[in-house]
Structure 1
Amino acid sequence: MRTSTKRQTQTDPNQGGEALRAFVNAIKETLLLIDAKGIILFANETAAERFGKGVQELVGTCLYDLLPPELAKLKKEQFDKVFTTGEPVCFEEIGAERYFEIYCNPVFDVEGRISGGIVFVHDITDRKLAEEGLRKSKSLYRTFIDASNDMVFLKDETGRYSIVNKGYLEYIGKREEDVIGKTGFEIRPFHIAEQCDLSDRKTLELNDIVVTEETANNRIIETRKFPVMLDENRIGIGGFMRDITENRLAAKRLLESEEKYRSIFENAVEGIFQSTPKGRFISINPAMAHIFGYLSPEEMATNIVNISEQLYVNPEEREKYQKIIEEEGVVKAFETQFYTKDGGTIWVSLNARAVKDADGKVLYYEGTIEDINKRKLAEKELKHTLEQLRASLNATVRAMAVTIETRDPYTAGHQKRVANLARAIAQEMHLFKDVVDGIRVAGLVHDIGKIAVPAEILSKPSKLTEIEFNIIKGHAEAGYNILKDIDFPWPIADIVLQHHERLDGSGYPRGLKGEQILFEAQILAVADVVEAMASYRPYRAGLGVDFALEEIEKKKGICYDKKVVDACLSVFREKGFRFE
């Protein structure tokens, strides 16, 4: 609010009458009339409310006394300048969470001298907040479009650029100040500008999105333009431009990959399929149809509408297959029997995985099927042959065991009992079945070398001489020589050779120590000692199982392996093993 610089102003606030007072009190902004010293000569009701006083209280009060010292000093300097120069001033001030615009106009007396000033305080908080919001909004908007991977622009109704982001400026190689307010013809090559202008017109005519492409520097650029309402009467054009070169190349590679996959799918030797969890085929390759005796994938897919009931010989196998694939996501080498078109059966091996959606729900299964019918038949025949060979081997081993027992009647059954105990120890230690079988066989023939020991020494009822004992000790080496050329599936000859060796090297025939001794031989050694001590011999009575167990327990870790001894003790004391 300003007055003419030289116009005389009546300083008597009552001269205008009640109409004037009503007018100034209706103003919802602070209005004061002060003299050159800051004494309030008139105040409206808004000013009174602002200072928390009555109107009459304010009149005659110094304005500067109502303000904080620092603010009072500043305002006095500002107002004194008005009173000195006669020029009105306007400045902004921040109060307690509010913004104000303050005007001070000089007031002249009848002689043209400055007698004071009119102070008008306008609350501009709402405007300031709106400006700040707009500033932040523009800043956010600018940050957003500049961070976009796309090139962004906006043209006004005349086709002139009003907004462009950094990406667009980098693409055309221009500065913002060289683009804003210009048309495409002013900043881009004519042939490109002409194409852009055509797409601009088309966008406005269709009032819809228009997509175009251009190629520059071996790059493919896609532009999506759309109409933008600038205001009630003006329509501009917005646009997003994106480099789609990699997308196109990826699409090309995907197409090539799909063609390659289709070739593999169609020409694969193995069956390839996709099926639903409910048991319908989605896709089948020719090889799979051929495996099951169908003329084409279409024929098989049409005829098989329930995989579980129509393909599986044992439908519960389908349930087992689904449980594995749903819990683990994949199933590998799942062998089962399927029906063929003619009602026959074949063995197949399934490898498949579950394809799931974003929520983890199974959409379908996909995988391969291999015809393993010939392999299964060969395995069955091989298993039968192996069983025959194993039976022949066991018969041979038993014959060998009987041979030595006929020469040493006092140890009749010793080898069989040792073999049974050695097997029980190995099983207690959870060794593989094949290893357990080898230990049992070694136990049945571990004393085969005694065939080379004179019968009178074997059955001598009195204590052996040193020479006789050395002859007996030679049975381990003799057994090795008998067995070494037999092609057992286990190291039987070496186990027999080492069954009298001890961990501390005190055994025979070679004084081996620790890991030099086969683990199977260590098991056989414990079983041999326990059976020998517990049983009757020509030169002494049987000492009993408990005595034998105490003996190996004393020498655990010295002569005999700790784990083997613990397993032997467990077999007797916890599992109730007994010699037959």
Structure 2
Amino acid sequence: MATVLIVDDNAENLYLLETLLRGNGFNVTTATNGAEALESARKTLPDIIISDILMPVMDGFSLCRQWKADEQLKHIPFVIYTATYTEPKEERFATDLGADRFLIKPQEPEVLMQVLAELVEKRHTAVSLKPLGEEMEFFRQHNEILFNKLEKKMVDLEIANQRLKKNEEDLQKNEVFLDGIIENIPHMIFVKEAETLRFVRFNKAGEELLGQNRQDLIGKNDYDLFPKEQADFFTGNDRKVLESKQMVDIPEEPIETRKLGGRIVHTKKVPIIERQGRMQYLLGISEDITERKQMEDALRRSEEKYRGIFENAVMGIFRTTPEGRFLSINPAGARMYGYESREEMMQLVTDMAHQIYVHPEDRQRFKDLIGGRGSVEDFEAEHYRKDGSRIWVSMNARVIRDASGAVLHYETTSQNITGRKRVEEELRQTLEKLRKNLIGTIHALSVTVETRDPYTAGHQRKVSRLARAIAQEMNLSKDTVEHIRLAGSVHDLGKISVPAEILVRPGKLTALEMSIIKVHPQAGYDILKDVDLPYPIAEIVHQHHERLDGSGYPQGLKDGQILTEACILAVADVVEAMASHRPYRPAMGIDAALEEIEAKKGVFYHEKAVDACVRLFREKGFIFETAA
């Protein structure tokens, strides 16, 4: 049975390799450095030696050199087995020293056993020491390899130290960060040892609540700080947490403090468990809810005091949550919505936005207003009754808040205004009818103007139709198209103030007559400005003879000052006038009219309006209707 000498300063490596070799039938002796290995081998020759390189007293390279220089040992195979010296030049150096094999850790057990078996079988032909020249050459190469490796290890160690330092710094930062969070949480936070239930930590809020310095609290238990009855209660809940290994929520618990007296806190207690499953600490978080409880008690007393008013009011009185649930309803309120009792309404209505409001967005608008102002007056909305019928209600409401400013509920009074809304609607319809009659009257006046000027009969109607078509071609809104149409139908209303003989006079007008004609936009504006029309009709009529360069009349407005609607009407007015017969000239035709507005596009006339008008005639076949 062959004997193997293992040389390694690492006890774990020695044990593992020894166990492997013994399991494969080898006798094993061990040494922890080169000097110890030489001494052992000279006493009892092994059949093979396996050595690490980096070791105290004598390293593996020096051991190999002396081994191969020893007449008694040089024929015994020498195996270098290293995980540190793995570069080719290090392998060459070991080979030059006479090493029979240079193996890099780790090796598969089968491979290692095969190498050892082969070397043991050929041990009498083991490699001898190769000449390295002078003694100094050996030390030069030896030191160069060792120092390079040591230098690298020093660098690696420095990097590792830097990483460790950074990790420590990061850990400290995290601790500071967590400490900052814990210290600034406005609720009392405390930690107890699971085994003794003694306090090991308090935050600033805990000091302030209990009225004691945390140094005086650490190491104490509940019986050191509170009356026995309270301490029994606290400790009993601690035991529940530790036994169940789950959080325990205590909604209300009384606690005696040094400066604030008796308080009420809402506490949650959580077990902190190690990875091995052992209870280590108990974490507690306590919120002081004394003021909230006092507010609730005061509110309860207030409700009792004003219950009579609430019950006997003739209008609906409600208390509702921001989420849309009823907290209370008076009998009048339940009757207003068609419910047999307040209890029925509170039970059935759980979402006011969709069950009460005909238009749910009105509920959100109500919340936005009351949230911003704190109160709402005369808020009108359409509501559903129980049977699905609709009523209009007017609401006055205010926000009720607790001491910290948090919203508790909305307090609302509601009045059924369905009758009033019906009257208002009838009035609105009457006004609308009057407005339409007024517009009809204006049209009648417009027709009167045309009867005074037979040569321009139908001019306003044609201009209105063309202006509407231009507006549609420009993709303007339906409302804009409609008020352009209406303005076009009365744009020459002011000519009612112009003498008929001027309107029908053949030939060129004098300067005085032209100045009288130019008054008609202003005259039309004066007639229409006080009429309650839904669109700026009067201003469009006023501006329909203005030009972009300021050369128009009556105000001499320029681009940017003229309404787009008036610009469109101006284009339609010019095209229809040039294309039609006038007392002072024959009709010039559509082509001449289109050439005129194209030539003056951007100077007199709005570019987009001109382009739209040209497209209508040349591409889309628009024509003026002929008079019947």
Select the residue among 551, 555, 561 that pairs with 1:516.
Answer: 561
1:19 corresponds to: none
The answer to whether the 8 A contact 1:33-1:40 is kept is no
1:375-426, Cα deviation, whole Å (9 max, x unpaired): 6424431342133212321221122112222221111111222223333434
In 1, the alpha carbon distance for the partners of 2:178 and 2:446 equals 88
Quick one: structure 1 residues 561 and 147, their matched pair in 2 at CA, closer, same or farther if it must change by over 3 Å? Answer: closer
Find the counterpart in structure 1 of residue 190 from structure 2.
Answer: 151
What is the match of residue 71 of structure 1? 56
Helix, strand or coil at the partner of 1:151: strand
Secondary structure of 1:514's counterpart equals coil
Say whether the 8 Å CA contact 2:272–2:283 is kept in structure 1. Answer: no
Kindly indicate whether residue 231 of structure 2 is the aligned counterpart of residue 240 of structure 1: no
1:273 and 1:41 mapped to 2: Cα distance?
97
- Does residue 1:215 correspond to 2:206, yes or no? no
Name the CA distance, whole Å, in 2 between partners of 1:579 and 1:453.
Answer: 26
Contact residue 146 and residue 167 of structure 1 kept, 8 A = no
Question: Do structure 1's residue 540 and structure 2's residue 585 form an aligned pair?
Answer: yes
Q: 2:442 aligns with which of 389, 397, 400?
A: 397
Q: Is the 8 A contact 1:32 1:41 kept in 2?
A: no
More displaced 10-residue stretch of structure 1: 147-156 or 525-534: 147-156
CA deviation after TM superposition for structure 1 residue 537, in Å: 1.9
**From 51, 55, 66, the counterpart of 2:46:** 55
Alpha-carbon distance between aligned partners in 2 of 1:527 and 1:28, rounded to the nearest angstrom: 116
1:40 is matched by which residue type in structure 2? S
Mapped contact 2:580–2:588 kept (Cα < 8 A)? yes
Corresponding position of 1:459: 504
The aligned counterpart of 2:137 is none
Say which SS state the counterpart of residue 334 (structure 2) adopts.
helix
Contact 1:419 1:441 in 2 (8 A): yes
Aligned length: 437
Structure 2 counterpart of 1:503, which letter? L
CA-CA distance at 1:532 after TM superposition: 0.6
Equivalent pairs: percent with the same residue? 38
Instruction: For 1:457, give the aligned amino acid.
Output: I
CA contact (8 A) 1:32 1:42 kept: no
- Give 1:377's aligned amino acid: R
- In structure 1, what is the equivalent of residue 426 of structure 2? 381
How far the C-alpha of 1:501 sits from its partner, in A, is 1.9
1:298 equivalenced with 2:283 (yes/no): no
Given that 1:152 and 1:167 are in contact with CA atoms closer than 8 Å, whether structure 2 keeps it comes out as no
Q: Which runs of 5+ in 1 are unaligned?
A: 1-21, 45-53, 76-93, 99-135, 351-366
DSSP-derived class of the 2:391 partner: strand
Alpha-carbon distance, 1:306 to partner:
13
Q: Classify 1:195/1:458 alpha carbon distance in 2 versus 1 (closer, same or farther; 3 Å).
A: closer
Gaps of 5+ in 2: 1-21, 61-81, 85-104, 107-166, 183-188, 370-378, 396-411
Alignment RMSD (CA, Å):
6.3
Please give the residue correspondences for 1:18-57 in structure 2 after superposition, counting only pairs within 5 Å: 30=30, 38-40=38-40, 55-57=46-48
Q: For 1:532 and 1:243, how far apart are their aligned partners in 2? A: 87
Further displaced range: 419-428 or 389-398:
419-428
What CA distance in whole angstroms lies between the structure 2 residues aligned with 1:398 and 1:204? 89
1:26-81 CA-partner distances (Å, limit 9, x unpaired): 9999468999895115899xxxxxxxxx83445xxxx9xx5536634489xxxxxx
Is 1:252 the counterpart of 2:293? The answer is yes
Distance 1:552 1:500 in 2: 14
Distance 1:271 1:574 in 2: 65
Q: What is the CA deviation profile of residues 225-283 of structure 1, one whole-angstrom value per residue up to 9, with x for unaligned ones?
A: 99999x9xxxx996536462x44257538847986999999899577779999xxx987
In the superposition, relative to structure 1, how do residues 487 and 41 fare at CA in structure 2: closer, same or farther (>3 Å)? closer
**What's the CA shift for 1:543?**
2.7
Residues 540 and 272 of structure 1: is their aligned pair in 2 closer, same or farther, counting only changes over 3 Å?
farther
For 1:203 and 1:347, the matched residues in 2 are separated by: 54
The verdict on how the C-alpha distance between 1:203 and 1:144 changes in structure 2, with shifts beyond 3 A counting, is farther
Alignment of 1:282-431 (within 5 A): 285-286=329-330, 289-300=334-345, 338=384, 345-346=390-391, 373-374=418-419, 376-429=421-474
Query: Any conservation in 2 of the 1:33–1:43 contact (CA below 8 Å)?
Result: no
**Aligned partner of residue 550 in structure 2, secondary structure:** coil
* 8 Å contact from structure 2 (residues 269, 285) kept in 1: no
1:55 maps to amino acid: P
Query: Using the alignment, how far apart are the partners of 1:146 and 1:502 within structure 2?
Result: 71
Residue in 2 that maps onto 1:498: 543
Q: Which amino acid aligns with 1:475?
A: H
Q: 1:370 to 1:172 in 2, by over 3 A?
A: same
Equivalent residue letter for 2:557: L
Distance 1:302 1:295 in 2: 12
Measure, in 1, the Cα distance between the counterparts of 2:427 and 2:561: 36
Contact (CA 8 Å) 1:34, 1:42: kept in 2 or not? no
Scaled by the length of structure 1, the TM-score of the pair is: 0.54
1:558 positional shift: 0.7
Q: Separation in 2 of the partners of 1:304 and 1:164? A: 51
Match of 2:8 in 1: none
Deviations 1:191-240 (A, max 9, x none): 669899978997999995899855345497979699999x9xxxx99653
User: What's the offset of the Cα at 1:506?
Assistant: 1.9
- In the alignment, which residue of structure 1 is the partner of 2:489? 444
Aligned to 1:550: 595
Task: Measure, in 1, the Cα distance between the counterparts of 2:594 and 2:464.
Answer: 17
Q: Distance in 2 between matches of 1:291 and 1:564?
A: 56
Matches within 5 A, 1:135-214: 149=182, 150-154=189-193, 164=200, 173-174=214-215, 184=220, 208=243, 213=255
Give deviations 1:271-303, integer Å, cap 9, x for gaps: 7779999xxx98774465232233422234678
Say whether the 8 Å CA contact 2:318–2:326 is kept in structure 1: no
Contact 1:425 / 1:568 at 8 angstroms: preserved in 2? yes
C-alpha contact (below 8 Å) 1:535/1:542 kept by paired residues:
yes
Distance change >3 Å, CA 208–CA 337, structure 1 → 2: closer
Maintained 8 Å contact 2:34/2:57? no
* Partners of 1:295 and 1:568 in 2: CA distance: 66
- Asked if structure 1 preserves the Cα contact closer than 8 Å seen for 2:319 and 2:328, the reply is yes
Q: Find the aligned partners of 1:32 and 1:435 in 2 and give their Cα distance.
A: 102
* Greater shift in the superposed pair: 293-302 or 528-537: 293-302
